[in-house]
Structures are given as C-alpha cells and as structure tokens.
Structure 1
Amino acid sequence: MAAQFGIQSEFNPDVHDFDIFIRKLKSFFVANAIVNEERKRAILLNALSENAFVLLENLALPAKPENISFDDIVKLFETYYKPTRVVFAERFAFYATKKWDSETIQEYAVRLRGLATHCKFGTSLDNALRDKFICGFEKGKILDMFFTKDEHLTFQEAIQAATATDVANHSYRLPATVQVKGENIYKLDYQEVKDQRTGYRSGPRNREQSSRGQTTRFRRADTSNTNTSSGSSWRQTGMSSCKVCGGGNHGTQRCFYREYTCTFCGAKGHLRRICKKVFSMLVHPKSKGYIELRSSDPLDSPKFYANYLSDPEYHDVRTFIAAIREKQRISQSPSLKRYGAEIVDT
C-alpha cells in the first residue's frame, strides 16, 4: 500500500468554509495521485460531517449522494454556499477600515488583501491597496514618512517602508534623562508661643523677631536626599497621613473633606487623589453605538445606544480581559503588597 501524503480533515458547515475545504481536498487528490471519480466521491462523502451529509441529501433529492458524481456534489455545495455580494458594499468595508492598535503592520496588510478579494479592482488593485494601507494609519511618524514618498510607490514597497520606520522608532528610543539642579533648601523652624494679651496661640511671623518674644528662624535643611518632597517632614516625625485627603497635619476626624464623595469611585469619605481603587478603561474601543431622535421636538433629549462590547471580533472583550489580568499581576507585586493592595469583589 502506497504511503498517503497529507491529512484530510472533516468538513463541518458550522465551522469551516466550503471553498477552502474543497481546494484543500483537490490538493490532497493531486498529492496522492487520485484520479478515479468514484474514489474522489467516496473520500468527499467520508469527509462530510453528519450535518453536512444531511444537507447534501436534501440538496440532491430525489437522487442519493452515492449516485451523484464528484463534480455535481461540488456544484450543489457551491451553489448553496455562494454568498450574494454587492461590489459597493465590499468596497465600503474596504475603505472604511483602519489599522488596529493590536495588530502588526504585516497583519494589517494581510487583512486589507482579504477585504479587497471581492471588490473587483482589476488592474488598479495594487494602487487601491497602497492608498488604503497608507490612509489607515493614525497621525504619527509612519504617516509623516509616507508624505515624503512619490506616487510611484507600490503596495509592497509601502509595507517595507512602514515596517522599517516602525522598527527604527522602537529600537532607537533613548530613555529620557532628568537633571536635578542642586539648590539650598530652607525650612521653617516653627516655635509656637502663647499670646499674653489675647490668650490664643499664634504661629510664626514674617519678621525675624516678633514684638512679644516669638522668634522665627530659618535654617538649611538636610539635602542628602534629593527626592525629599514637600510634606515629607511630617512623615519623618512619625505622624500618619489623613485617610481622607492625604494630608499630614491633621487627623481623619478633623479633616475638612471627610463628608466629600470621591469623583472616581463614588464612595464617600475620601478624595479622588488618594482613592485606592483601580478601574479598567477602554481608550480605543472597536464597538460603535449610535444616536436616535426621540421625537420631532428639538428640545427632547436624544436616545443613546452605547453598544458596549458589541464588536463582532470581540476586540474590546479581549482588551478588558488582558487589562484585568495585568491588574491582578501588578497587585501581587512586592511594591504594592507593602501597602496592602488586594482585589475585592464589588
């Protein structure tokens, strides 16, 4: 028995495309030198799933699939699965597409070729692919590079130029260097005294010597740590920060903002700048919503249909899942564990 080349997979109409399946099957016949029509038909029928075989029986009535030639079976399936295509609808989808942030330049070029399959561009196919390939980029270095090219650029040359610019942009991105200018830092040596006349305690004055014996002195602070920021003095004294606003010169119960509501998470009792909750946000969604008029009255508010997470390729869903996984990874890092970071159910 001669060795068999290749593996013939099953055709499931719910999963596979018949045009691709039959082309692979014919290549399988060529690789194994199968020319007998009855053997071709037998292999084709054996490769059909149960649903596909039932469909073929219904298409072939009143004849039986075993009594129909291989070519006739292929014609029945091609007629049934042949989609009704409108050229202008195909071209609209071709021209409306943009390069996705999640795909590479090569993936973008391959997707464009697939969209142009049924557009019937003819001899102008290369120019159409080149123009749409360039116009699909957002503003940036790649698009600026294309503006320097002439009109004789081919589609393949455009792919190579975009790839080279993208690689150069990522390979030679130098880290930014920060130079800190060394200056003397002074801090106020606060000495609180009691006013003998009024009985109230007073703070430092803007003059070197007060009229009632209160002295305000300035001395140079320790500048050994250049990263010391304003407000670090209360941390060095052991005072805990306010859990409402983050300040260090008062307690939580005395905070002026303790009745405020956080504008980020909506919880009461703290400000947005110290909110510990982290939310995922979709910056470039692929899902598209729409707006409808509520009535003929121009003063009526319109109807909004957000259609969140409705893109057919589930790009938004995959992006959100990746963001959640990243938050889980970061929350387990030693740096955040020191501050008691944890994932809570809401």
Structure 2
Amino acid sequence: MMGAKAIIGVTLGLALGLAGCGRGEKTDREPGADVPIVTKARVEGEPVPSPTLDAVKARGRLNCGVHEGLVGFAYIDNRGAWRGFDADFCRGMAAAIFGNPDAVRFVPLTARNRFEALAAGQVDVVWRNSSWTMERDTAGDLSFAGINYYDGQGFMVRRSLTLNSATELNGARVCVQAGSTSALNVGDFFRARGIAYQPVTTADEAAARQAYADEDCDAFTADISALAAARTTLANPEQHAILPDVISKEALGPVVRRGDEQWTSVVRWTLNALILAEELGVTQANVEQQTEDATDPRIRRLLGVEGELGERLGLSKTWAGDAVAGVGNYGEIFERNLGTQSALDLARGLNAQWNSRPGGLIYALPLR
C-alpha cells in the first residue's frame, strides 16, 4: 500500500496534469480573472499624467475661482489682499503644489459665470461656496472634489417685524439671487406649505443684499453663512435676525473640470490633508517640529516622512506639510475666517471634527 505522502503526490500530479490538458479550452471565467491588474504607474510609483497640473506647474501659479466679495469666504481687505475661508484653501493648494501659498491668482466669479469660467479654462478650480447637487454632478462637465463647509439656507429679517419663523412670512417680499439653488429652495419651501410670497430676484448676491438693505424686501434668503456675512455689512447689524428655520442642506466644496481625475485627486487630497492635520494636532506653528519628531505613523505619512503619497499626486513629499505651513490646518482656517477670531463669530456646528464633543461632519479620508 502507498503511504499518505505518496497518495498526496499522485493526487497533486493528476491535478496538475489535468490543468495542463485543459489549457486553451473555453471556460465561463474571464481571462486573467484571478490576476490582479497592475498598471505601469502603480508598479513604478509614477503619477497618472494630469494636463491641468502640468499647465499649472508650467504657468507657475494656480488660477483659483472665488466669490467676487463675501465677507468670511472671499473678499479683498483694506490692504488690497484677498482674505477668507475659500481664499485660504486656494493658498493651501498653491502651497501643496509649489511650496508657496502666494503662487495663486484669484479670479472673482459670479454665481452665473463660475462654472462657465471653469469649463473655458479661465480657472483651474473653483472654491466659491458652491453647493454639490445631483444636477450639477450629473451634468457631465463638473466634478466636486470634496466638501469643505456644511451649510443650510435660511432667512434674515428685521427684528422690528417680530417674526419667530419663516412660516410667518405669508405675503412677504423675499430677496433672492436669480439662477441659484437658493431661488429653487425658497420656492419649494413656500409651495410645500401653501404660503404665498413675492420673490424679489436680483442678478447676484450682492444686489440681493443691497435690496434688503434698501428695504425693497422684507426678508433676505441665502446660505446661513452668507446671511451672517451680509449682516456684518449692514448699518446696524444688531437690528437684524437670522430666523431659526434651515430649509435645505448645502454641502459646499471645490469644483473642477471633469475628465482630469488626477487633478481632482490633487484638490481632494489637499482638502483631506488639511482636515486630517487638525485631527492629528498638526498646526501651522508646530508642523516643522512634527516633521522632525513625530512618531505617530499617521503624522509621518501626512508630512512625507514615510511613504510616497506626494509622488502619487505628482507633488513633492512635503506637499501636505507645505499646505499646513502655508495656511494652517482646517480648524485654523475656520477660526480666523468664520469662527471666534472673525467678525462672523460662527460656531463650528456641523463643521466640527467628527470626533469632537459635540461631534460634527468634518471627516478626513485615510491618507495611506
């Protein structure tokens, strides 16, 4: 009788022989179904080519589309410099690409022409409080690279009207920007409740703010952050109140042209790097020291001490650290432009980190 080892050997031999005889025969499996597809870029660690990134590098600066003037988000200060939450994300991208946060040209865009300017190549990315919607996402020429601010639409009214809710605006004149999601949302809100109202549509948000200031309408509707910004520009801000009603979900974020996935990744991961930096305690003040001393593998990957994350994007090893050094982490950007260090004094709310107390919706994808 054959021993156990001999039986196993014969069995393996027969199996291999049958497999060899079966070569070339048709099967139900796709060719190479068990073989992982490894691209040249993945094998050699080379980034996928990005026409946009190549053009930005050749030009020597980032062309960044921003709001034409919204306090807290993008505006020109009294020294002639661009400031604001979105403006700082533009600078963060410039720092990630060039190691220089000032290697950026700010291009002011209206709500109507922002996506046209992007499609025409006038800007490389739009950081302009743009809501991520299904219609925009499926139009075929835009890609949202992430969310940097969670907002919602509300109403601002004069305190003298003694209103407690937007449901009391029956017959009221409501200023709203034409061609915006705000105009669509306010129509849905009143129609669903059977409330009559008179829309006072304007060409842009600035005109809507001015119409409200001139008392051409009883209420002004826009994203709550925009209302907070508008209130700071009024003659007597304390005489105006933002009602508690939040009538929509507005996920705001950067927009790029569809078709250049590598460039989308550059924008997406720069945003995520700044969010993760806050979560891990990496700040503008300590990023250099963290690069030298950090033992946490997540921080070491973020700052390019370990791994090749920057190379995968077509950037340097220090891309994320350069972004933090240039503008600070997400929390620092928020606080100086929108939070306690700003005129808006907005609470973090939904824009708090996921693991804070109370927690928010800001969550970085893993950098690894």
Identify the structure with the greater strand proportion: 2
TM-score range, shorter chain: under 0.3
Give the TM-score, by structure 1 length.
0.18
Quick one: higher RCO (CA 8 Å, sep 6+), 1 or 2? Answer: 2
Higher radius of gyration, 1 or 2? 1
